[in-house]
Amino acid sequence: MPNAIVILTGAGVSAESGVDTFRDTGGIWSRYNLEEVATPEGFSANPTLVHEFYNGRRSQLSQVEPNATHFALARLEREHEGEVLLVTQNIDDLHERAGSKNLIHMHGEIAKALCAKCDARCEWREPLSAKVPCPSCGEAGGMRPDVVWFGEMPYQMERIYEALGQCGVFISIGTSGSVYPAAQFVQEAARAGAHTVELNLEPSENRLDFDEAIHGPASRVVPEYVELILKGDISA
């Protein structure tokens, strides 16, 4: 499917909405210990700390709005004649609020909870704690944010690799390229013959893997690039 486009997004697309990135100066991982709040071991050791961390991130959702990048990507999906699959590493809901529909949250969603006792998933907008019972099985003590922690398998990998193997264009936006497997998607798409593009504030760690790189704030470079694709100047 030469017309198919796969887009990978990271924290940089939500930065201009006021959501912190992870590895920039003052980013989340400079204030929190990744092992303590984003691993299964950290959750077992101190569930209260982990719940507080994600409760804070969940409550932020109601204070932020999608920006021009999210809207441009939703427009691309609506107006491009081939398939557009958006794969995000972000756990916020800004892509869907901007109108994206063909969307995979490979690192999960902060507005959902997962019960470790019965595997049920549900929408969750309130604070979570170890005491909250699961709405499905009624058991307390198993509820966790439905996010993927380090050491866990990201979601829908089979569907993502299938799309990467068939796309004509792969675009990576607002991600440092430091977390696998997402950082390796560019190589997978390149093997399939796709044109690969990085749109990021600065060169990412895997900048050299891309055919093309445009550096600048996503809210400027992404709408411009979407316009080029829709005008037919980028061959997908």
Of 13-21, 53-61, 159-167, 226-234: span binding ligand OAD (CB under 6 A): 13-21
Task: In angstroms, give the least distance from the CB of 154 to ligand OAD.
Answer: 8
Peptide bond into 127 cis (omega under 30): no
Task: In angstroms, give the least distance from the CB of 123 to ligand OAD.
Answer: 21
Question: How many CB atoms are closer than 10 A to CB 35?
Answer: 13
Of 20-28, 41-49, 56-64, 223-231: span binding ligand OAD (CB under 6 A): 20-28
Distance in angstroms (rounded) separating the CA atoms of residues 220 and 236: 21
Which structure tokens are listed for 28?
């989340």
Q: Which residue lies nearer to ligand OAD by CB, 134 or 182?
A: 182
Contact between 172 and ligand OAD (CB under 6 A)?
Answer: no
CA atoms within 13 A on the CB side of 178: 11
Helix H segments across the chain? 12-15, 28-31, 34-37, 40-45, 47-60, 68-79, 94-98, 157-164, 185-191, 218-231
Contact between 22 and ligand OAD (CB under 6 A)?
Answer: yes
CA atoms within 13 A on the CB side of 157: 11
Q: Which residue lies nearer to ligand OAD by CB, 10 or 66?
A: 10
Which structure tokens are listed for 115?
């019960």
Residues 176-235 that bind ligand OAD (CB under 6 A): 176, 178-179, 200-202, 204, 217-218
Residues 55-114 that bind ligand OAD (CB under 6 A): 89, 107
Contact between 12 and ligand OAD (CB under 6 A)?
Answer: yes
51 assigned to active site: no
Dihedral over Cα of 122, 74, 71, 216: its sign:
positive
Q: Give contact residues for ligand OAD (rule: CB under 6 A).
A: 10-12, 15-16, 21-24, 27, 38, 89, 107, 148, 150, 174-176, 178-179, 200-202, 204, 217-218
Catalytic residues: 107
